Structure 1
Amino acid sequence: MSALRLHVGRIDGPAERTLLVIHGGPDWDHGYLLDPLRRLAGRRRVLLPDLRGCGRSPGGLAPERYTPDAAVGDLLALLAALDVARVDVLGFSYGGLLAQRLALAAPERVRRLVIASSTVLPVPADAYDDWPERAERRAPEARVWADPTLDGPALTRAAAVAGAPANVWRAAALPDYLARLARVRFTAEWLGPFRAGTLPPALPTDAAGRLAALGLPTLLLHGRQDMVFPAALAERAARRIPTARAVLLDEAGHMAHVDQPTAWLAAVTDHLR
């Protein structure tokens, strides 16, 4: 499948210190990740592409063209078009799964890897059984997904807003996060194949073992109160990957960069040094 021309947000900095940031969703755009990454201006060139069918990037494709491997192909084509030999890669949530795929597909293109608010290990079905507050906080989003009157981008936006109290741990950080969501261009291009059960899994098979074999310096950056991917899995994965380390931020949920922006960015910059 041919790659697409992606819309790319940029933060100016030295080209030889390029950071590729892969957003999650996937039916979101990159905008919710801009802060605190804007603070890297002048120190790093940051590339924030919208994945195919997301934000301002081309959409309207056949459902079978929305796959993790197609998205990775787009990102590698972007690096080739910009003549970037090696980059640091930060993948957030679903983007963290794509970042693993990119590193495994083209390890020579990746200098250091940050997997943020994501997972290297499969999530057990009972991972959150002993955390009743998680079920309470996630219930409003579940009701939105079950609402038959909602569809398309209106559904993905409504679900993101309803899920905000679960994704942001600190109540004081919630207004800022909701303001970010108001600016996101939501789509629903990936939603169709996901609901139809035709979207291939994004987590690579035996990701931990294969990343360990690569020997790539890897940061597993996580909020301790993450209600999407259990924080314990980051620590467990770090024990299985000799070149990885886990950093868990206290008082931070899935959107750890919103809950604890200064500590989150400090962990990123320390790893990418």
Structure 2
Amino acid sequence: MSSYLADSAETRYVDGPEGERFAYRRFGRAGGRPLVMHMRLRGTIDHWDPAFLDLLAAEREVVIFDNRGVNFSTGNPPTSMEDMVEGSLAFIRALGLADIDVLGWSMGGIVAQGVALAAPDIVHHLVVAGSSAGGVPDLPAPPARTQQIVSKPVNVDEDFLSLFFPETEQAIAAGRASLQRLENRLRDSKAVVGPEAVRGQLGAISSFKGFWHRQEELTLPVLVANGAHDVMIHAYATYAMSQKLPNAKAIIYSDAGHGFLFQHPEDFVHEVNRFLSA
């Protein structure tokens, strides 16, 4: 039996405007501004590390969800970033949320920016983890090995270790520990992003022109963070965003990569909590 609050949180459903049903979980310290979380490529509500979620939930209410057509949610899977942003906003409105903070990891970081741009009246703080604005000039491309792993029809644990954690003893150990924690949910749920939704996500990423030219519009407080050895989205994107955003703070973990938030959950959540409380 898992001791994590996130692992015992009930999966709920809310109806969307197009007849779809969004799957979500809402837990933690109620009464403040909820933190709405946006997931990575090929990720579901069961792919958030419960250790990371529990640390966040100790200070605030956390909301995680599957976007339209992904995993437990019904509807047509998104085929563009605009679709993902619209799906997120449809979910947020279906819950009746009018004052929120948003966090996005990887692809979810781009979606979270889109939500903040589309609904600046309801988003108070923005956290962008292991992500990019899209269209960042001179951003180094992922290594060929990374592109090969990402393009595989199905990724296994060793793939995620290669994509998310540097090849050091400490980082790999942290990565294996995170994967073991994820098994608490995945063992029973078998949660997965189906082939049609994966194709839609990959197509959305490849066709997205980016929010680089709109960074000045994000006047709210923004926290951008990454690991220095991210092979998925080069950490230069985090630095570049911090140069263009009007009100930003940047954090880089020197011994980590794309999965830095699961490698250093205590430290990163401490930074997130300080940021969101300001």
Q: TM-score range by the shorter chain?
A: 0.7 to 0.9
The answer on 1:39 being equivalent to 2:55 is yes
Rate the CA distance shift 1:217–1:36 in 2: closer, same or farther, 3 A: same
1:48 CA displacement:
0.2
Q: Is the 8 A contact 2:39 2:105 kept in 1?
A: yes
Q: Which residue does 1:253 correspond to in 2?
A: 257
Match of 1:271 in 2: 275
1:238 maps to amino acid:
S
Deviations 1:30-62 (A, max 9, x none): 223233121233421110011122221115x3x
Corresponding letter in the other structure for 2:149: E
Taking the aligned partners of 2:124 and 2:133, their CA distance within structure 1 comes to 18
Corresponding position of 2:154: 156
Match of 1:151 in 2: none
Partner of 1:185: 191
Structure 2: how far apart are the matches of 1:16 and 1:3? 30
Q: Once the two structures are aligned, what percentage of the paired residues are identical?
A: 27
State the number of aligned residues: 250
Q: Deviations over 1:209-264 (max 9, x none)?
A: 42323311101111111111111221121111121121111211101112211121
Identify the match of residue 222 of structure 1 among 226, 237, 248.
226
Matched, 1:11 2:27: yes
Give the conservation status (yes or no) of the 8 Å contact 2:39–2:45: yes
Q: 2:130 maps to which residue?
A: 117
Q: CA deviation at 1:84?
A: 1.6
After superposition, the CA RMSD in angstroms is 2.8
| TM-score w.r.t. length of structure 1 | 0.80
Q: Which runs of 5+ in 1 are unaligned?
A: 146-154
**1:102-151 deviation line (CA, Å, top 9, x unaligned):** 1111111100000100001435687158xxxx666x48726x72xxxxxx
Asked if the contact 2:128–2:223 (Cα under 8 Å) also holds between the matched residues in 1, the reply is yes
Matches within 5 A, 1:1-273: 2=18, 4-25=20-41, 27-33=42-48, 34-58=50-74, 61=76, 65-122=78-135, 127=140, 138=146, 141=149, 145=152, 155-158=153-156, 161-169=158-166, 170-180=171-181, 182=183, 183=186, 185-187=191-193, 188-193=195-200, 197=203, 199=204, 203=208, 205=210, 207-273=211-277
One-letter amino acid matched to 1:242: P
Shift of 1:203: 5.0
Amino acid in the other structure paired with 1:116: A
Segments of structure 2 that go 5 or more residues without pairing to the other structure are: 1-16
Larger mean CA deviation between 13-22 and 182-191 belongs to 182-191
Q: Residue in 1 aligned with 2:6?
A: none
Could you list the per-position Cα deviations for residues 4-55 of structure 1 after superposition, in whole angstroms to 9, with x for gaps in the alignment? Answer: 3211022222243200000111x32022323312123342111001112222
Partner of 2:96, secondary structure, is coil
Does the CA-based 8 Å contact 1:55-1:186 persist in structure 2? Answer: yes
